[in-house]
């Protein structure tokens, strides 16, 4: 049978036939016996060979088809199951009644209803009965026709002819009654449906998604058989936009949004993070319920919060795009937290920044820096959120997924270093060339040994050990920097020995230490800056006026003390300690030391440069004050005394606040005047102040310890902003404070040489406080390094952090592997053997060494 479907243009011919049934005429001759076998459109294109499913009805019926208006198909019934459609399309059509053309996007599911079924049933019944009546009227009943054909009896024909009008009238009467009954049933069904729809709308107005779903005959949250993974499909049946159901903000609407978030995350997890255990749904609901219970937002504020929710949803879409997926429920919680007045100081019960584990195939090239000014509740060093054990567990699980990416970064560098520069001082990350700029002592290899160990790259570690044992020479031609060689090479060898116990490292360390110690053969006992490891000749640098540099003379004692401890020879510690004997004697009342020294005629020394800085010339001497006290088992009190005195001076003289946002920073001081500049190097103070506070003999709750910890957090927030506010998300060498925007990047300082001090502070504060925020900031920094610094053979420095289009440069310092990569890895490694509070102390090159006795 054929049926025409009218359109505004040329009618589209439709062929309709069905499986056997009361409404199913026989398929026309010449057509396939089974319409599902092969469907070809009028333009020759082949379509899916399948019967439409309930969820794909709209895909199967052309847009604008009269069938949509007069014969909408309802839930699966015998009538629907027996019908199958095929259509020959006009060349400009893309839709088939059998199914979608391959590659055609799926349209939104059609909502089906009971009334449509009854209407269609009525039409089919009417057509069938009319055909029966007409056939009876014209041809008679089957029995009369048979009698007529067999007997050819005229009387019988006359009786049949007389009875035909009566049969037709009877049939018409029954037909009329049936049609009336069908129409009545259809009207009743329409009325019931209208009432049900009104009840659903009323329920949704009050945020009662659960009641609306029950009206639909579906399960809802709290029901025994409720399945949260069906949330998306269930809400789609409610005939209201999902965002309206979510934004009601009352009742269980937002709770249902949490289940929808669960469903989205579940689907993402199946594709990207198999077997990764998500935050339990029950906890997510509890977080939301608690936040809603405690929220006291006035009515005029709710509108702005909903607008904020809309913006956060857009932000969440970006997050999903880059692999940092978040649920609608989490975003709702974040809005609830933001509604508290300006993050009132004190501890809140909900931490709003937790994200989900990172997939292993995360594409860092798609990362875009998120900008500065965020997380302002941390800028003054406050602790705005309660750090619970549950929160720490969630943070640890997230950290482990990030740790994998830092490990992969290290593998990328080491693979190329091994292939192109093994045993050389430095590998150039773009050209692949090698440089022997530290005397050819394998500086990158020795500097990175303990990083390999802590990352579990033991095969690579032992390959490095073999090179050290068999090929490392401590007698390069020419002079070397005593300071740099001590912190990088001597520190690296001692740390490798401390971690592995392999004597080959200690033997090489003792040989190197005895050669470096020649630099201490001066009138005062302060070590010269440069030393020849072959003949022991030493001198200071002309570029610094032949003076002693504070940071260099005061940053070798941890290494020499450990060497004495490991070898049993006290000469190393005694010579190195002479420096602090002098500094202790000449320390000014405010505890702030000048960055240059000269010897006096009596064998002592004095400060020849009055500039006070926590940048390149002074920084690490302060660092070693607190760390030498910790290394001694917290016994040698003069180191702690010097540290506390210096920190009093820092707070009274150097700690400053910026305009307009009140960022905390450390200024330099020269000739009694402040220079409002802070180096990237000075950001180590966030970690140093924190470890000083947590080990304060007066207790962490003391006024002094709380002052130092608060400053540590505030400084670290400022250092994070130095990264976040640049176009690449990476900090310049230093910033200048002043003006109307807190700080700016001077034209002489836009470069970045892969420095570690900021991620070092993140690591210390994360390990000591447990606050997950430092891992969030560290992850942003790592993503920017991956995107803007990664090269074919390693990672290169940046010439201008405010120019994202500028490629990295062909230089990779050894401290990138020794410090930056190590601190990033430890930041995301909750399972590390390192214990900075009780068992280990890092030298200034991030080489961990055990304290002489576990501190309590």
Residue 575 confidence (pLDDT): 98
What are the structure tokens assigned to 93, written together? 């059509």
Strand 668-670 relative to strand 664-666, pairing: unpaired
Locus of tokens 């068999």: 470
Which is nearest to 785 in space by CA: 453, 369, 491, 489?
369
Has this prediction a pTM greater than 0.75?
no
Residue 183 has pLDDT above 90, yes or no: no
Residue 188 confidence (pLDDT): 75
Q: Collect all residues with Cβ–Cβ distance below 8 Å to 382 and sequence separation of at least 6.
A: 345, 710, 713
Q: Can you list the positions of beta strands (E) in 329-448? A: 426-427, 434-435
Name the pLDDT band for 355 (thresholds 50, 70, 90).
confident
Of residues 274 and 634, the one with the higher pLDDT is: 634
Residue 234 has pLDDT above 50, yes or no: yes
Q: Which of 59, 234, 252, 619 is catalytic?
A: 619
Residue 656 confidence (pLDDT): 99
Name the pLDDT band for 696 (thresholds 50, 70, 90).
very high
Residue 328 confidence (pLDDT): 40
Q: Residue 395: how many CB atoms within 10 A of its CB? A: 24
CA distance linking residue 217 with residue 201, whole number of Å: 15
Q: Which of 190, 272, 290, 484 is catalytic?
A: 484
Domain boundaries, the chain: 2-112, 209-341
Q: Can you list the positions of beta strands (E) in 611-770? A: 655-657, 664-666, 668-670, 673-675, 677-679, 734-737, 743-744
484 given a catalytic annotation: yes
Residue 480's H or E segment, with its range, is: strand 479-481
Proportion of the chain above pLDDT 70, given as a percent: 63
757 given a catalytic annotation: yes
CA distance linking residue 86 with residue 34, whole number of Å: 11
Which is nearest to 297 in space by CA: 339, 346, 257?
339
Q: Which of 757, 786, 809, 829 is catalytic?
A: 757
Locus of tokens 């945020």: 207
Burial of 679 (0-12, 13-18, 19+ CB in 10 A): buried
What are the structure tokens assigned to 473, written together? 């020479």
Poorest-confidence range of 65-74, 294-303, 847-856?
65-74
CA distance linking residue 768 with residue 686, whole number of Å: 12
Give the dihedral of Cα atoms 297, 301, 305, 308; nearest 10 deg.
-140
Annotated binding residues for Ca(2+), written as ranges, equal 844
Residue 99 confidence (pLDDT): 33
CA distance linking residue 811 with residue 442, whole number of Å: 16
Annotated binding residues, written as ranges, equal 844
Q: Which of 679, 733, 771, 810 is catalytic?
A: 733
pLDDT tens by residue, 581-637: 999 999 999 999 999 999 999 999 999 988 999 999 999 999 999 999 999 999 999
Residue 683 has pLDDT above 90, yes or no: yes
Concatenating the DSSP letter of every residue in 186-228 gives HHHHHHHHHHHHHHHHHHHHTT-HHHHHHHTT---TTSTT--G
Burial of 729 (0-12, 13-18, 19+ CB in 10 A): buried
Cβ–Cβ under 8 Å, residues 329 and 258: yes
Poorest-confidence range of 283-297, 505-519, 766-780?
283-297
Q: Assign residue 249 a region (left: φ > 0; alpha: ψ between -120 and 50; beta: otherwise).
A: left
Residue 838 confidence (pLDDT): 95
Sheet holding 734-737, edge to edge: 677-679, 734-737, 743-744
pLDDT tens by residue, 374-424: 999 999 999 999 999 999 999 999 999 999 999 999 999 999 999 999 999
Query: Average model confidence (pLDDT) for the chain?
Result: 78
Residue 269 has pLDDT above 70, yes or no: no
């Amino acid at each position: 049978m054929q049926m025409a479907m009218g359109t505004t243009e040329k009618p589209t011919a439709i062929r309709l036939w069905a499986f056997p049934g009361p409404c199913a005429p026989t398929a026309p001759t010449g057509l396939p016996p089974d319409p599902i076998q092969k469907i070809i459109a009028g333009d020759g294109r082949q379509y899916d060979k399948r019967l439409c499913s309930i969820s794909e009805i709209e895909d199967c019926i052309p847009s604008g088809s009269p069938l949509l208006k007069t014969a909408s198909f309802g839930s699966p019934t015998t009538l629907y199951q027996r019908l199958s459609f095929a259509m020959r399309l006009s060349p400009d059509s893309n839709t088939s009644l059998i199914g979608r053309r391959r590659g055609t996007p799926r349209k939104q599911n059609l909502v089906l209803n009971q009334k449509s079924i009854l209407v269609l049933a009525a039409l089919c019944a009417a057509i069938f009965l009319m055909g029966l009546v007409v056939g009876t009227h014209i041809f008679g009943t089957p029995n009369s026709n048979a009698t007529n054909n067999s007997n050819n009896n005229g009387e019988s024909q006359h009786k049949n002819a007389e009875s035909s009008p009566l049969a037709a009238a009877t049939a018409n009467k029954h037909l009329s009654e049936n049609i009336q009954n069908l129409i009545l049933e259809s009207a009743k069904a329409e009325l019931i449906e209208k009432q049900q729809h009104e009840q659903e709308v009323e329920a949704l107005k009050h945020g009662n998604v659960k009641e609306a779903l029950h009206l639909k005959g579906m399960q809802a949250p709290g029901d025994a058989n409720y399945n949260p993974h069906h949330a998306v499909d269930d809400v789609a049946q409610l005939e209201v936009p999902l965002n309206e159901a979510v934004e009601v903000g009352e009742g269980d609407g937002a709770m249902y949004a949490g289940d929808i978030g669960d469903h989205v995350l579940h689907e993402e997890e199946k594709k990207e993070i198999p077997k990764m255990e998500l935050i339990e749904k029950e906890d997510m609901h509890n977080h939301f319920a608690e936040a809603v219970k405690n929220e006291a937002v006035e009515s005029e504020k709710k509108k702005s919060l909903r607008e904020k929710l809309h913006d956060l949803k857009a932000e969440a879409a970006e997050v999903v795009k880059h692999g940092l997926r978040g649920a609608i429920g989490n975003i709702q919680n974040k809005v609830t937290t933001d509604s508290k007045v300006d993050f009132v100081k004190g501890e809140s019960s909900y931490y709003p920044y937790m994200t989900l584990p990172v997939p292993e195939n995360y594409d860092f090239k798609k990362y875009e820096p998120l900008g500065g000014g965020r997380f302002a509740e941390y800028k003054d060093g406050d602790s705005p959120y309660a750090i619970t054990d549950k929160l720490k567990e969630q943070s640890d699980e997230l950290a482990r997924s990030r740790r994998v990416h830092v490990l992969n970064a290290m593998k990328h560098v080491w693979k190329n270093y091994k292939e192109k520069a093994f045993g050389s001082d430095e590998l150039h990350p773009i050209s692949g060339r090698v440089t022997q700029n530290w005397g050819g002592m394998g500086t990158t290899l020795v500097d990175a040994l303990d990083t390999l160990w802590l990352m579990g790259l033991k095969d690579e570690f032992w390959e490095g050990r073999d090179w050290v044992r068999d090929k490392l020479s401590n007698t390069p031609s020419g002079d070397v920097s005593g300071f740099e060689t001590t912190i990088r090479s001597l520190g690296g060898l001692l740390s490798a020995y401390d971690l592995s116990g392999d004597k080959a490292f200690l033997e090489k360390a003792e040989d190197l230490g005895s050669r470096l110690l020649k630099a201490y053969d001066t009138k005062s006992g302060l070590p010269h800056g440069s030393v020849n490891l072959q003949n022991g000749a030493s001198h200071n640098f002309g570029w610094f006026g032949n003076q002693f540099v504070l940071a260099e003379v005061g940053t070798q004692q941890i290494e020499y003390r450990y060497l004495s401890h490991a070898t049993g020879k006290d000469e190393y510690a005694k010579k190195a300690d002479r420096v602090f004997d002098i500094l202790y004697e000449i320390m000014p009342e405010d505890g702030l030391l000048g960055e240059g020294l000269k010897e006096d005629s009596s064998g002592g020394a004095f400060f020849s440069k009055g500039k006070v800085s926590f940048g390149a010339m002074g920084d690490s001497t302060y660092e070693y004050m607190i760390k030498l006290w910790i290394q001694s088992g917290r016994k040698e009190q003069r180191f702690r005394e010097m540290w506390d005195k210096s920190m009093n001076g820092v707070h009274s003289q150097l700690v400053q606040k910026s305009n307009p946002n009140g960022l905390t920073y450390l200024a330099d001081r020269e000739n009694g005047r402040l220079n409002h500049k802070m180096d990237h190097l000075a950001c180590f103070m966030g970690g140093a102040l924190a470890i000083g506070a947590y080990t304060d003999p007066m207790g962490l709750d003391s006024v002094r310890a709380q002052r130092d910890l608060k400053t540590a957090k505030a400084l670290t927030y400022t250092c994070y902003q130095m990264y976040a506010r640049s176009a690449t998300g990476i900090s310049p060498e230093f910033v200048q404070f002043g003006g109307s925007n807190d700080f700016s990047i001077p034209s002489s300082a836009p470069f970045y040489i892969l420095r570690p001090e900021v991620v070092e502070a993140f690591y210390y504060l994360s390990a000591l406080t447990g606050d997950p925020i430092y891992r969030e900031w560290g992850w942003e920094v790592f993503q920017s390094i991956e995107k803007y610094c990664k090269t074919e053979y390693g990672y290169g420095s940046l010439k201008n952090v405010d120019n994202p289009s500028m490629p990295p440069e062909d230089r990779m310092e050894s401290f990138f592997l020794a410090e930056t990569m190590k601190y990033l890895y430890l930041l995301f490694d909750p399972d590390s053997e390192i214990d900075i509070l009780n068992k280990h102390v890092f030298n200034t090159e991030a080489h961990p060494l055990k304290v002489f006795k576990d501190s309590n």
